[in-house]
Amino acid sequence: MENEKINKDQIIKIITDFNNRAVEMYNSKFIDELKSFGVKINFKDGQIASEFHGPEIDSIKSICNDIRLYVQKSKDPIKIEKLIVIYKSELISEKIKTEFNSIMSEYYKFKKYPTNYVRNNKAYNNQELFELFLYGNISHMSPGHKEEYDRIKAFGPEYVFAKMKFIEIVDGYLRVIGNFAYCNNLVLENFGLQKILGGRK
């Protein structure tokens, strides 16, 4: 489709599927459980003990498997990069194209943004730490990611810090997806159709 012109019906189908899936994510248990997100740190017998508060593992797995459909290297119809062909179409106004390009630029910056988590002289960015947890513990585990995840998990306080950063990244991806859904709504409104998802998250 990338090398072909896209018609109005195809545009509506793609952004409707994209936004409908986003609605499901924003109504998930993860969003409610995120409200209690935090870490409690105690010092006992000269040692640090940390306790994680926030989304349960089942909620994390569910939301991450949804996010994966938007961000991983695949041919999934709701992958973020699938929107590019839409916003190159002559059916989209220049103003909306500019908005989309700005959101896409911020998305790429977000993926490469440093997390401040460093292990063995490796500084992880958002995308790398997300994929470490995703493919090391949550979905389609790969040997390399699994081994590194297990090494991190063996160190309690360090693991809690890494998990905190991971949850923050998950929240960041949700905001990114919300921004794209917002832009998709501009297209729907321009076509005289009803919005599917509210404004920016």
Q: What is the pLDDT of residues 62-114, one digit of tens each?
A: 999 999 999 987 777 889 999 999 999 999 999 999 999 999 999 999 999 99
Indicate whether 151 belongs to any domain: yes
Q: Of 107, 86, 105, 87, nearest to 176 (Cα)? A: 107
Indicate whether 55 belongs to any domain: yes
3-class secondary structure, 124? strand
Indicate whether 1 belongs to any domain: no
Domain that holds residue 63: 8-190
Q: Cα separation of 145 and 140, whole Å?
A: 10
Indicate whether 96 belongs to any domain: yes
Bridge partners (DSSP) of residue 15 are none
Indicate whether 129 belongs to any domain: yes
Q: pLDDT, tens digit, for every residue of 40-70?
A: 666 666 666 666 677 888 999 999 999 999 9
How many domains are there within the chain?
1
Indicate whether 199 belongs to any domain: no
Write out the two tokens for 179: 């921004």
Q: Could you tell me the pTM of the whole model?
A: 0.87
